[in-house]
């Protein structure tokens, strides 16, 4: 195994070296640092040109310059962005953080959503639901992201802000959304016609009621969850998780999840005091989350039984969800002061940038500010990348469902839930191991187009502005970073796959 990794690493370093050399040559041809001076009418034009040539070592041939650059790069000097004379290292630090923030949420959401819908689509193969999902994923796949992004800005953000300022409910839209939701759930849950009609009506009524309630009571103008909301949602999730992963017959798992949900809801009250008296930061939040997960694991362990792991897992998922709810609830409590802040003036959904400049915000309000800024670009990214996961997961699940051991599992009389969740799902998720690491590590490279449109100063935007500004050093840093990370990601993916799939053997 060590030899395998060493060999792959050596290969990666070699590839990266060749890549950087070739890209440097291409960039030498593609970028022209003297472009603005060539048409400069200033009398001292030649002097300016000479200065720049000296600054950028343009008088030596490019392959020599490449080795100069490589020497500096290896010793930790990444060069300068010569237009602003800022060192690349400082430019990049903020850009990486911004990109990760932006793409992290989008990647997680699109994986979760895409994988779930792909799975359901595979389970309902050749139904109208499956066809509809296939069509939608093709449509999303064909959308140009810059077009979607501008549309989202124009309609969603501005429309929502206008609505918040002068609420007039658009009833046809609400009814259409409710019908879509009804059709979605009826298709996803499937079954016989009578059941589908029941599900459709149920989902339609619930969606309509939720929309109407939120819009008519003015909830959208002052969104809160509150202890009641947390309690209801947590218990619902606890029931759902137990039904899906443990089965309602497993009383111990059910009680473990329910206990966790109730305990989490009760803990809301003391936590409000903690949040009030102690200045929060991310360390605290992560610590609290870890604590709640440990507590949930303990609860699951105590309920125990012969299949202890299931109880623990169910309780931990519930705890995670409840913790997130409590966090969101606290963030939403800053909605009114945030909305009334002079920089916001009642138009909370932001279309540009990563945060509101000059906003005097505490920890919680800063999170809210971040959320309102990240919403649109995340939505745009999810819409685009979601389709890939749906297609991928649908294919993987169908492949597994056609295997012999699934038939065996059914033949020996296991319930459909056990066949799908315990036999099919695990193997269908395995191929994800080869794409998720790649998606996560490469997200540091940012989303070039999305960042440009939404004005996020991330890595992708840095790349584009440096290309525009004819600056070689930041572009080269970007190339080395994304190239190196992609190689590491592929290595991790191969390694992971070898670990979880016993059929694959690593031979050095």
Partner 1 sequence: MSNDRFQNNEPDDADRLEQALPDGPQADREIGVDANDAGEAASARTGEATADAYGRGEGVGEGQEVQGLSQGQIVWSRFIRHRGAIFGLVTLGLVILLSVLSMGIGPIPGLWRVQEITSGDVIDGGRPTLSVPGIGGATGFAIGANPFGQDSLGRDYFAQVMLGVQTSLLVAFILGIVALLIGVTVGSAAGFYRGKVDMALMRFTDLIITLPVIVLGAVLGALVSRVPLRIGAGPELTASIRENMPVMLAVALGCILWTGLARLVRSEFLTLREREFVDSARVAGASDWRIITKHMLPNAIGVIVVNGTLLMSAAVTLEAALSFVNFGIGPPNISLGYLISDNQGAFSTRPWLFWWPGLFIILIALSINFIGDGLRDAFDPRTKKIPSARAMAKAEKQLVASRGAASAQSNGATAVQSNGATAVQSKEDAS
Q: For the segment 14-53, give every residue that binds partner 1 (CB under 8 A).
A: 15-16, 18-19, 22-23, 26-27, 29-32
Q: 54 or 407: whose CB is closer to partner 1?
A: 407
Give the shortest CB-226-to-partner 1 separation in angstroms.
Answer: 25
From CA 316, how far away is CA 313, in angstroms rounded?
A: 5
Piece of the chain touching partner 1 by CB under 8 A; list 92-100, 362-370, 467-475, 497-505:
467-475
Tell me if 67 contacts partner 1 by CB under 8 A.
Answer: no
Q: 125 or 343: whose CB is closer to partner 1?
A: 125
- Angle between helices 88-123 and 472-500 in degrees, nearest 10: 40
Tell me if 435 contacts partner 1 by CB under 8 A.
Answer: no
From CA 58, how far away is CA 240, in angstroms rounded?
A: 65
- Please state the φ and ψ torsions of residue 435, each to the nearest 5 degrees: -110, -30
Q: Which residue in this structure is represented by tokens 């041939």?
A: 61
Contact flags string 481-500 toward partner 1, x per CB under 8 A: -xx--xx-------------
Q: What does the chain come to in residues?
A: 508
CA 4 to chain centre: 31
Looking only at residues 237 through 296 of this chain, which bind partner 1 when binding is defined by CB under 8 A? Answer: 239-240, 243-244, 247-248
From CA 49, how far away is CA 399, in angstroms rounded?
A: 63
Contacts of 259 (CB under 8 A, 6+ apart): 299, 303, 315
Give the shortest CB-487-to-partner 1 separation in angstroms.
Answer: 6
Tell me if 467 contacts partner 1 by CB under 8 A.
Answer: yes
Piece of the chain touching partner 1 by CB under 8 A; list 71-79, 311-319, 369-377, 446-454:
446-454
- DSSP bridge partners of 81: 86
Give the shortest CB-482-to-partner 1 separation in angstroms.
Answer: 6
Looking only at residues 130 through 169 of this chain, which bind partner 1 when binding is defined by CB under 8 A? Answer: 135, 138-139, 141-147, 150, 154
Tell me if 175 contacts partner 1 by CB under 8 A.
Answer: no
Give the shortest CB-102-to-partner 1 separation in angstroms.
Answer: 15
Contact flags string 90-129 toward partner 1, x per CB under 8 A: --------------------------------xxxxxx--
Tell me if 10 contacts partner 1 by CB under 8 A.
Answer: no
Q: 240 or 305: whose CB is closer to partner 1?
A: 240
From CA 437, how far away is CA 418, in angstroms rounded?
A: 28
Residue 31 · residue 472 · CB < 8 Å? yes
Tell me if 361 contacts partner 1 by CB under 8 A.
Answer: no
Q: Where in 15-92 does DSSP place strands (E)?
A: 80-81, 86-87
Q: 332 or 419: whose CB is closer to partner 1?
A: 419
Instruction: For residue 274, give Cα distances in angstroms to 20, 180, 279, 285, 330.
Output: 52, 42, 9, 11, 11
Exposed / middle / buried, residue 416 (Cβ in 10 Å: 0-12, 13-18, 19+)? exposed
334: DSSP letter: T
Give the shortest CB-78-to-partner 1 separation in angstroms.
Answer: 17
Give the shortest CB-478-to-partner 1 separation in angstroms.
Answer: 7
Give the shortest CB-448-to-partner 1 separation in angstroms.
Answer: 5
Contact flags string 377-396 toward partner 1, x per CB under 8 A: ------------------xx
Residue 371 · residue 331 · CB < 8 Å? yes
Candidate residues 478, 493, 494, 497; the one interacting with partner 1 per rule CB under 8 A = 478
Q: 16 or 214: whose CB is closer to partner 1?
A: 16
Give the shortest CB-145-to-partner 1 separation in angstroms.
Answer: 7
- The region that residue 176 occupies, defined by phi over 0 for left and psi between -120 and 50 for alpha, beta otherwise, is alpha
Contacts of 29 (CB under 8 A, 6+ apart): none
């Amino acid at each position: 195994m060590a030899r395998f990794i060493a060999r792959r690493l050596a290969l990666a370093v070699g590839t990266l070296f060749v890549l950087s050399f070739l890209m440097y040559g291409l960039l030498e041809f593609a970028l022209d640092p003297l472009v603005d001076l060539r048409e400069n009418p200033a009398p001292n034009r030649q002097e300016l040109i000479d200065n720049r040539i000296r600054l950028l070592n343009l008088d030596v041939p490019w392959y020599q310059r490449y080795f100069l650059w490589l020497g500096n790069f290896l010793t930790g000097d990444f060069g300068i962005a010569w237009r602003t004379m800022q060192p690349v290292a400082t430019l990049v630090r903020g850009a990486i953080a911004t990109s990760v923030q932006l793409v992290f949420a989008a990647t997680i959401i699109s994986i979760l959503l895409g994988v779930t819908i792909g799975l359901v689509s595979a389970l309902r193969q050749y139904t109208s639901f499956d066809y509809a999902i296939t069509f939608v994923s093709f449509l999303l796949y064909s959308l140009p992201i810059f077009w979607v992004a501008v549309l989202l800005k124009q309609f969603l953000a501005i429309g929502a802000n206008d609505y918040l300022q002068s609420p007039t409910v658009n009833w046809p839209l609400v009814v259409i959304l409710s019908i879509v939701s009804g059709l979605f759930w009826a298709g996803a849950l499937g079954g016989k016609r009578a059941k589908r009609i029941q599900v459709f009506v149920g989902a339609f009524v619930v969606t309509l009621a939720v929309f109407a309630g939120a819009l008519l009571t003015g909830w959208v103008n002052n969104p809160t969850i509150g202890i009641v909301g947390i309690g209801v949602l947590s218990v619902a999730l606890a029931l759902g998780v137990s039904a899906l992963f443990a089965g309602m017959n497993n009383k111990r798992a059910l009680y473990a999840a329910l206990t966790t949900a109730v305990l989490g809801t009760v803990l809301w009250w003391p936590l409000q005091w903690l949040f009030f008296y102690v200045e929060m930061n991310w360390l605290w939040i992560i610590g609290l989350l870890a604590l709640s997960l440990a507590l949930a694991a303990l609860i699951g362990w105590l309920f125990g039984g012969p299949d202890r792991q299931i109880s623990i897992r169910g309780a931990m998922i519930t705890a995670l969800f409840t913790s997130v709810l409590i966090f969101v609830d606290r963030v939403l409590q800053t909605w009114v002061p945030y909305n009334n802040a002079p920089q916001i003036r009642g138009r909370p959904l932001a279309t540009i940038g990563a945060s509101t400049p000059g906003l005097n915000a505490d920890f919680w309000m800063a999170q809210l500010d971040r959320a309102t800024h990240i919403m649109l670009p995340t939505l745009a990214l999810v819409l685009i990348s979601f389709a890939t996961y749906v297609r991928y997961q649908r294919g993987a699940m169908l492949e597994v469902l056609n295997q012999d051991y699934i038939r065996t599992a059914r033949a020996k009389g296991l319930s459909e839930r056990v066949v799908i969740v315990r036999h099919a799902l695990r193997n269908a998720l395995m191929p994800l191991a080869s794409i998720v690491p790649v998606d996560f590590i490469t997200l540091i490279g940012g989303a070039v187009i999305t960042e440009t449109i939404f004005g996020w100063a991330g890595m992708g935007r840095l790349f584009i502005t440096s290309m525009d500004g004819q600056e070689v050093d930041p572009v080269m840093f970007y190339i080395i970073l994304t190239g190196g990370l992609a190689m590491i990601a592929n290595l991790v993916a191969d390694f992971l796959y070898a670990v979880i799939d016993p059929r694959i053997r690593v031979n050095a």
